[in-house]
Structure 1
Amino acid sequence: MSFADQKNGDTVPENSRSTPSLLARGSWAEVRRIADVLRQETIGGMLLLAGALVALVWANSPWSGRYHALTQLTVGPAALHLDLSLAAWASDGLLAIFFFVAGLELKREFVAGDLRDPRRAAVPVAAAVGGVIVPAVCYLLVNWDGATDGWAVPTATDIAFALAVLAVVGRSLPTALRTFLLTLAVVDDLLAIVIIAVFYTAHLAVLPLLAALIPLGLFTVLVQRRVRSWWLLLPLAAATWALVHASGVHATVAGVLLGFAVPVLTRAGDHSGPGLAEHFEHRFRPISAGVAVPVFALFSAGVTIGGLDGLGSALSDPAAIGIMLGLIVGKPVGVLAATWLTARFTRARIDAGLAWIDVAGLAVLAGIGFTVSLLIGELAFGIGGERDGHVKIAVLTGSLVAALLAAGVLRMRNRTYRLLHEAEQADRDGDEIPDVYQHAVRTREEPGPG
């Protein structure tokens, strides 16, 4: 199918193709949902960048002492071992909300989204796995006899930061590319949580972990019965979080478990509205994107650089070199190679109108590691140490370089897609659904011969 054919809406139905398609156009319902998610995450990305910038300026100003005093201010009940610094509350508490939303999103994608089809799911899942393995290898090649604990730092993609870049340079890029990036980042978050739980749990207390199953089980029973009362669910969620935190497992794992417990589908005959997972996602995504992640950036990104000499010293640390190599080189190579290998061994072809340079641009954009990378860096090297500062500088520098490189590629591709985007916006017959989606739906619904 030619570029002009797609522009005119003559899309070949997906089930009529002889070979599977990579990065195919999703259903119209899924496209609308993804568009809503992207708007919220993009705004969150802008707030994240603002929080990180404030932290950097403040930490390198004459008032830097006040910044560090604020991050180390301890609050919370000591009797429950929850007398934590504000920085710890941001990473352990607020990021649990972020991972709760990630759990909801991941479950919804594989239960009710377009990715319930294994053929669609294979590509972003493989890309996410490749985007974890190769950066880790890059890091270990530099630090094989040194700071090996930081191998997971360059493996995470920050979806809010990445979407903020897309919002600036890629407004006309196809929705399939944005969906691919979003899904890759969601799977990436799941892999990050597994890594945190397995490799960064230094001391495991079994009794609190087993006790966490009680409020988690009650929470699961209530949400499976479609209970939405916050005064019942919130105390159970808080108890689950506190017990997981006390067990030594990072408390953000509780957020993912709670997200997985929420049902996606409505009961048969229930026409009262969206499923409970979608309801919670609408409620908590603005809190996650607009509050939790930006506040975490404010408390975590403030590192004292110490001028050019200090910057040079930080970036000469092998751990910092490994992190930057993983983000700038390892992440794009891993994502692109895994996507190409999936296409090669499944004999799939990239969807009409798209090109491998688009995948390459997204692969470079996936090298923006911020929120989870900073979190893993703190777990690997501790908070407040010299190497912790070097890790933060490396994450910020690597993410900035990846963002600039991706912006160059995607801005070039954005010009190519602008005409197609304008044509699709004009391709309507009096309703809100573009004809290209209506054509695909009608084709699938038409009975076959005989």
Structure 2
Amino acid sequence: MLSTRRVRSEHRPAPKQTGDRVGKQKQDWVRLVADRLRTESGSALLLVGVAVFALLWANSPWSESYVHLWETHAAVGIGDFRIDMSLHHWVNDGFMVIFFFLIGLEVRQEFAVGSLRDRRQALVPIVAGVAGVVLPALIYLAIAGREAPEAWGAVIGTDTAFLLGALALVGPKMSSQLRVFLLTLTVVDDFLAVSIIGIVYTESVQWMPLAVAVVCLVLLFLLARANEWRSTPYIVIIVVLWAATLLSGVHPSLAGMAAGLLIPASDPDREDVVRAKRLFRDFWQSPRADAARNVRLGLAKSISVNERLHEVLLSPVALFIVPVFALANAGVDLRGGMLGNALTSPVTWGVVAGLVLGKFGGIALGSWIAVRAGLGSLPQGVGMGSVFGGAALSGIGFTMSLLIISLALEGEVAGQAIVGVFIAMVLSWVIGWLTFTFARVKMNETTADLPTTLSRPVDPERDHMLGDPDAQVTIVEYLDFECPFCARATGMWQDLGEHFSDGGARYVVRHLPLEDYHPHAFQAAIASEAAANQGKFWEMHNLLFANQERLDAQYLRGYAEEIGLDLERFDADMLDETLPQRIRADMQSAIDSGARGTPTFFLGETRHSGAHDARTLIATIEAQRKELAIRRRS
């Protein structure tokens, strides 16, 4: 009996290993699909799939179940307070508020730390966005103003998810600069569209709930002014705000957008990051539950409430809320002559013309006029052909269009407008693809991005370098001595130096003082070059980073004395015109290489994008070395 058990035991691992292997393959497949859906192109294809499914369901023998599902009522209540709505209204007036709240968060981010902070950079997409709202509305009213004038708002919005997904599929392979331009444009577009929804499509107003909503907005404003970093108080007030707005009769989308605009956004503060690092060290030394809680709170405090909420909501909105909205609103019964009537209806073609021609013409013309008038400039690397391609894709209205149609129209006319939205989506996609192809072939616009190659090769005689000058791996950092996250401040290079301890890497720094944000950075860079003239660049480099809060001219001479420089020579070098010229040359090489902020890293001659922590950089470098070894062997 024992030997039998032993034999069975010896034979059990084989099928178990096979089962484990199959299970792991399934997990890998699920993970791969999930990762794909989280991409911009994946989420766009998901929306297309859901919309097609809704159409098929609504035109199938089971179409009644589609209608009955969304007419099913659901209620929530506390005591005598009760909100009772159909599932269709829960989706449009409940779930979609989270979508508009996310838009509000993005607008606030753009104004605080993004592209809308720079007036000259933001003015062209702002003008284009406004023109892309006005012209479509005028075209729609000219075609369908007699039949359904109230639906003019259906052509003013662009579906950002669809736009970016289509751009990833038919646009240039490298298009991050065009993407930023289009995002700025859609921020303006969405802001105007949501404002119009809240103002134009509000039928009646209940003043008491509206007063409660106003109080909630004031409380959100006061929380932001008080620098409240916890997200819970904001969430509680936003839930009350939604309920009050819903009861007031104003469409809740406006409350969602307004709430998002009031959530504070900012870049991480260096002191908060350092504090979080100390808390993690405490947990490392004593892994207790209270220490873990302190780490979580410290990490949360180092990131703005806006960014944390945006990160939490982005995937649920893209993968659940918007697809459910598409499922609830895209199902149009085209039977019984409905499709034929739609194809001959002014409402259908008013929507098509407004979205396809109006968006393309408004955005393209608005961009061209703004540039020609000198109001601003296009982002570096973005040509007018690429802007025209993005303008064509902006005719994909989908989410905004379907929502406004559900508010403005009913019955067969609503179905005709929805058919127009689908036709416009297909035409915009095709015209965008043709426009990008033309721009690539005829205008030589192969990319719409910043340069990615180091414009000036590393020169051991000129550049400041650590490590073996002949090393195979080169890390170039463009830095700013007031930048709180540059390499010496974070200790990144120490980790890289330990990993490549065999002398296989060299570290080079170049100057990129951001004078608009860091008033003392340029003078500090001059001080480092004055120290370099006496062979002590790195000593001054370390001291400047150690004293980032004290970089005024009165302190720089003290640092020179501290590291033992000849002070008379240092004073003379600080007035030498060649040192600012050297720094300006570094800054120009940064611009020519596509660097716009600090720190920016180049691994070899290629600009690194994404996280710049030591582990990420090491992994990227090791991947490059493996690829290089494979090429050499082949």
Q: Give the aligned partner of residue 402 of structure 1.
A: 428
Is 1:391 paired with 2:417?
A: yes
Separation (CA, whole Å) in 2 of partners of 1:279 and 1:386? 43
- Structure 1 residue 168 displacement after superposition: 1.5
Pick closer, same or farther for the CA change 1:386–1:112 going to 2, 3 Å. Answer: same
Indicate if the aligned counterparts of 1:97 and 1:288 stay in contact, CA closer than 8 A. Answer: yes
Distance 1:235 1:39 in 2: 28
Range 218-227 or range 245-254, more displaced:
218-227
One-letter code aligned to 2:241: T
Larger Rg belongs to: 2
Choose from 335, 339, 347 the match for 1:311.
339
Q: Which moved more, 1:400-409 or 1:71-80?
A: 71-80
Give unpaired runs (5+ residues) of structure 1. Answer: 1-35
Displacement of 1:360 in angstroms is 0.9
Distance 1:339 1:249, change over 3 A: same
Q: Structure 1 residue 331 and structure 2 residue 338: aligned?
A: no
TM (norm. structure 1) is 0.82
151-160 or 71-80, larger mean C-alpha shift = 71-80
Residue 181 of structure 2 aligns to which amino acid in structure 1?
Answer: F
Q: State the shift of 1:183 in Å.
A: 1.4
Q: Say if 1:325 and 1:295 are closer, same or farther in 2 by CA, change over 3 A.
A: same
Query: Helix, strand or coil for the counterpart of 1:226?
Result: coil
The answer to whether 1:288 aligns with 2:322 is: no
Q: Shift of residue 47 of structure 1? A: 2.5
Does the residue aligned with 1:75 lie in a helix, a strand or coil?
strand
Unaligned runs of 5+ in 2: 1-34, 274-300, 458-472, 480-508, 516-520, 527-576, 581-634
Q: Which residue of structure 2 aligns with residue 56 of structure 1? A: 55
Taking the aligned partners of 2:212 and 2:451, their CA distance within structure 1 comes to 57
The TM-score with structure 2 as length reference comes to 0.59
CA displacement, residues 38-84 of structure 1 (integer Å, 9 cap, x when unaligned): 96544432322222122111111111111111111111148646211
Give me the whole-angstrom Cα distance separating, in 2, the residues matched to 1:60 and 1:139. Answer: 28
**Structure 2 counterpart of 1:390, which letter?**
Q
Distance 1:425 1:278 in 2: 30
Q: How does 1:233-248 map to 2 (within 5 A)?
A: 233-248=234-249
Q: How does 1:49-448 map to 2 (within 5 A)?
A: 49-77=48-76, 80=81, 82-170=83-171, 172-223=173-224, 224-230=226-232, 232-265=233-266, 269-271=271-273, 272-306=301-335, 309-346=337-374, 348=376, 350=378, 353-382=381-410, 385-413=411-439, 416=444, 424=452, 430-431=474-475, 441=512
Q: CA deviation at 1:432?
A: 9.1
| Partner secondary structure for residue 91 of structure 1 | helix
Looking at structure 2, the residues matched to 49 and 419 of structure 1 have their Cα atoms a distance apart, in angstroms, of 26
User: Structure 1 vs Structure 2: percent identity of aligned residues?
Assistant: 35
Question: What CA distance in whole angstroms lies between the structure 2 residues aligned with 1:358 and 1:397?
Answer: 23
Paired AA for residue 155 in structure 2: P
Mapped to 1, the partners of 2:450 and 2:388 lie a distance apart of 24
Distance 2:97 2:381 in 1: 39
Q: Which amino acid aligns with 1:370?
A: F
Residue-pair matches, total: 408
Q: For residue 298 of structure 1, report the CA deviation from its aligned partner.
A: 0.8
Measured in 2, the distance between the counterparts of 1:194 and 1:261 equals: 15
Equivalent-residue separation in structure 1 for 2:314 and 2:380 (angstroms): 33
Contact 2:155–2:397, Cα closer than 8 Å, also in 1:
yes
Q: Give the superposed CA RMSD.
A: 3.1
Q: What is the Cα deviation at residue 433 of structure 1?
A: 7.5
CA distance in structure 1 between the aligned counterparts of 2:194 and 2:51, rounded to whole angstroms? 23
Q: Is the Cα contact below 8 Å between 2:386 and 2:445 reproduced in 1?
A: no
Listed one character per residue, the Cα deviations across residues 339-377 of structure 1 (whole Å, up to 9, x for unaligned) are: 111112226554564432111111111111000111011
Provide the C-alpha distance between the structure 2 equivalents of 1:430 and 1:412, rounded to a whole number of angstroms: 38
In structure 2, what residue type is equivalent to 1:389?
G
Contact 2:174 2:447 in 1 (8 A): no
1:134–1:331 Cα contact (<8 Å) kept? yes
- State the SS of the aligned residue for 2:349: helix
Of structures 1 and 2, the one with the larger relative CO (CA 8 A, separation 6+) is 1
Which amino acid in structure 2 is aligned with residue 166 of structure 1?
L
User: What residue in structure 2 maps to residue 23 of structure 1?
Assistant: none
Q: CA 1:89–1:420 in 2, change beyond 3 Å: closer, same or farther? A: closer
CA contact (8 A) 1:128 1:188 kept: yes
